[in-house]
């Protein structure tokens, strides 16, 4: 009788290897499915005393797993996931199940869940955040599916997850594709925070003439403050990095931001649900605009350089910029939270939004000091109420209300494009304005299309012959 393993891993790339080692470090035996004998051997070589091995071929892999089998799939999202399921499921037995940990679209997860349930196989879609380092030493993990399936893998997932004050950053966040939905929104917020940071870097660097080292020091200070987190911290590291020639490496990196699509999916779904998330949308568009490098270069050549370099000293505007960045971070999280609340209802996934904020507190890319206060607000506020008006953020958006408008004004004055910053301000101002000019839009719609309108002084639906008068 060959030795049986407790955990199967398919996808032995960087993430799969790191997570396998993490699982094995917690006392579970792990077997990886490799695509060649060499790769199986090189995976087994990682063992160094751990119970970890590699094997080739689905039959041997399945035969060497303890029943009911737990198989994690960590391959690129899309067709590769379906290919793994097609290859392995014929060998599997009712009660076995998959944990799929790529950045899959939640609709694919729901389709796979239904397809496998028909065969008696379990499926958990789980968003894994934190990159290679997180996978190796503690990722944040967002699971969706049934409580029955989840409770079978809960001990392993809790053992390997990042911890916040001893609390594992993993949870069952809802039904069906909820885990991948929450991970998608996590990535949308990730895009927004990264773009907000990039815009402030641009303001400080090109606008206020600060060096990369000075900006790195500032980000370090922000990292230790109330909105600091992983992304502010890596910004300092990036800004301090030199290349072999002694130059700041960041200055040599081509300014075209790529994307794999999760930010765009967040915006697409928010549009479908009618939930405004303009900071995230702006961050997606800003990456697209950055890709139009040739046009940007030609335009600047034809029209002249815009940026003015005589901004005020940073010290004069430091408090204002600090508060404005703090405000725009909270606004970005608030948009993601409002999308999760709506999606949980509209998509029938029953997303536990407070629990989502809880698993984001450590291990993931958007972890920051803001997540514990945000979790507390989400847990206590009424559904549908914006977290921006919560008591916890009263000073930030009340006493310091002028900071974000002032930072936008400074960016405009210095010709710094700030799409995510400007969108954050427009969102906040709009969300706190009782009467917006949508009355005029309704009147225009009724004028040219007889689309009707409602009135503020009496109930009903109205149409008027507006015409020239
Ligand atoms: C994470 C990251 C991870 C990955 C993104 C990058 O949570 O660990 O979000 O999933 O870095 O896919 O996305 P883009 O390539 O679209 O920037």
Query: Parallel, antiparallel, or unpaired: how do β-strands 122-129 and 97-100 relate?
Result: parallel
Q: Which of 183, 264, 358, 381 is catalytic?
A: 183
Q: How far is CA 348 from CA 105, 181, 379, 421, in A?
A: 16, 12, 20, 32
Q: What is the pLDDT of residue 315?
A: 87
Q: Is the CB of 187 under 6 A from ligand 1?
A: yes
* Domain boundaries defined on the chain: 7-172, 183-431, 437-469
Q: pLDDT tens digit string along 444-460?
A: 999 999 999 999 999 99
Q: Read off the pLDDT of each residue in 77-83 and give the average, rounded to a whole number.
A: 98
CATH of domain 7-172: 3.40.50.720
State the Cα–Cα distance between residues 431 and 251, nearest whole angstrom.
38
Across residues 396-417, what is the average pLDDT?
94
Q: How confident is the model at residue 73 (pLDDT cuts 50, 70, 90)?
A: very high
Closest by alpha carbon to 335, among 403, 420, 396? 420
103 CA closest ligand 1 atom index: 10
Cβ of 262 less than 6 Å from ligand 1? yes
With cut-offs at 50, 70 and 90, classify the pLDDT of residue 1: low
Nearest in space to 30 (alpha carbons), one of 123, 18, 39, 38: 18
Decide whether any atom of ligand 1 lies within 6 Å of the 365 Cβ: yes
- Whole-number percent of the chain with pLDDT over 70: 99
Which ranges of 119-211 does DSSP label H, i.e. alpha helix? 131-137, 147-160, 178-202
Q: Find the mean pLDDT for residues 135-164.
A: 96
- Among candidate residues 100, 110, 175, 190, the one labeled active-site is 190
Q: How far apart are CA 62 and CA 91, in angstroms?
A: 7
* Mean pLDDT in residue range 92-105: 96
Atom of ligand 1 nearest to the CA of 130: 8
**CA 356 to ligand 1 centroid distance, Å:** 17
Quote the CA–CA distance of 349 and 336 in Å, as a whole number.
16
Tens digits of residue pLDDT in 212-238: 999 999 999 999 999 999 999 999 999
Assign 164 to helix, strand or coil.
strand
Identify the pLDDT of residue 385.
85
In the predicted structure, residue 93 carries a pLDDT above the cut 70: yes
Residue 34: CB within 6 Å of ligand 1?
no
Q: Which residues are CB-neighbours of 179 under 8 A, at least 6 positions away?
A: 109, 124, 125, 126, 127, 141, 142, 143, 144, 145, 172, 173
Residues 348-383 have pLDDT tens digits of 999 999 999 999 999 999 999 999 999 999 999 887
| Ligand 1 contact, 260 CB (< 6 A) | yes
Rounded CA-CA distance 339/358 in Å is: 16
Ligand 1 atom with minimal separation from the 190 CA:
9
Ligand 1 neighbourhood includes 130 CB (under 6 angstroms): yes
131 lines ligand 1 (CB under 6 A): yes
pLDDT above 90 covers what percent of the chain? 94
Residue-averaged pLDDT of the chain: 96
Is there a catalytic annotation at residue 183? yes
CATH fold of the domain at 183-431: 1.10.1040
Alpha-carbon distance values, 174 to 146, 244, 252, 376, 378 (Å): 8, 48, 43, 19, 16
Contact 148, 120 (CB under 8 A): no
Contacts of 131 (CB under 8 A, 6+ apart): 365
Question: Alpha helix locations (H) across 26-172?
Answer: 37-44, 58-63, 79-88, 106-117, 131-137, 147-160
CA of 350 to the centre of ligand 1 (A): 25
pLDDT reported for residue 3? 85
Core vs surface per residue 373-401: b (16+ CB within 10 A) or e? bbbbbbeebeeeebbbebeebeebbeebb
Q: State pLDDT tens for residues 191-216.
A: 999 999 999 999 999 999 999 999 99
Ligand 1 centre and the CA of 219: distance in Å? 21
Domain 437-469 homologous superfamily, CATH: 6-Phosphogluconate Dehydrogenase, domain 3 (1.20.5.320)
Bridge partner list, 100: 73, 125
Q: Is the bond leading into 68 cis (omega within 30 degrees of zero)?
A: yes
């Amino acid at each position: 009788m060959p030795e049986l393993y407790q955990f199967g891993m398919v996808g032995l790339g960087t993430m799969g290897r790191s997570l396998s080692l993490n699982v094995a470090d917690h006392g579970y035996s792990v077997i990886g499915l490799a695509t060649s004998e060499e790769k199986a051997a090189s995976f087994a070589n990682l063992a160094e005393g751990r119970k970890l091995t590699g094997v080739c071929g689905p039959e041997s892999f399945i035969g060497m797993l303890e029943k009911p089998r737990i198989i994690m799939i960590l391959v690129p999202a899309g067709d590769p996931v379906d290919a793994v399921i097609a290859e392995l499921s014929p060998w599997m037995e009712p009660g076995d199940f998959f944990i799929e940990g790529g950045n899959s679209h939640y609709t694919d997860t729901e389709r796979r869940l239904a397809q496998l349930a028909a065969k008696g196989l379990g499926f958990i879609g789980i968003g894994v955040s934190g990159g290679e380092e997180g996978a190796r030493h503690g990722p944040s993990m967002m699971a969706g599916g049934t409580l029955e399936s989840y409770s079978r893998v809960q001990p392993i997932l809790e053992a390997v997850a990042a911890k916040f004050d001893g609390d594992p950053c993993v949870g069952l966040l809802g039904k069906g594709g909820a885990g991948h939905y929450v991970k998608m929104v996590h990535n949308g917020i990730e895009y927004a925070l990264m773009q907000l940071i990039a815009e402030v870097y641009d303001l400080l660097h090109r606008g206020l003439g600060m060096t990369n080292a000075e900006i790195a020091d500032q980000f370090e200070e922000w990292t230790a403050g109330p909105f600091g987190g992983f992304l502010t911290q890596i910004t300092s590291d990036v800004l301090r990095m030199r290349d072999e020639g002694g130059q700041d490496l960041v200055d040599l990196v081509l300014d075209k931001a790529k994307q794999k699509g999760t930010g765009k999916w967040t915006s697409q779904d928010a549009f479908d649900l009618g939930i405004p998330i303009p900071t995230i949308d702006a961050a997606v568009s800003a990456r697209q605009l950055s890709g139009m490098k040739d046009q940007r270069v030609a335009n600047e050549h034809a029209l002249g350089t815009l940026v003015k370099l005589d901004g005020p000293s940073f010290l004069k505007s430091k408090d204002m910029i600090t508060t404005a960045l703090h405000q725009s971070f909270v606004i970005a999280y608030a948009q993601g939270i409002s999308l999760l609340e709506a999606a949980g209802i509209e998509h029938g996934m029953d997303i536990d939004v407070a629990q989502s904020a809880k698993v984001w507190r450590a291990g993931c890319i958007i972890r920051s000091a803001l997540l514990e206060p945000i979790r507390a607000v989400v847990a206590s506020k009424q559904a549908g109420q914006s977290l921006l008006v919560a008591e916890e953020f009263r000073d930030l958006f009340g006493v310091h209300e002028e900071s974000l408008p002032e930072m936008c004004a400074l960016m405009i004055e210095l010709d710094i494009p700030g799409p995510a910053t400007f969108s954050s301000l427009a969102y906040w101002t709009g969300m706190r304005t009782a009467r917006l000019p949508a009355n005029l839009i309704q009147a225009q719609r009724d004028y040219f299309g007889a689309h009707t309108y409602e009135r503020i002084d009496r109930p009903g639906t109205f149409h008027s012959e507006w015409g020239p008068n």
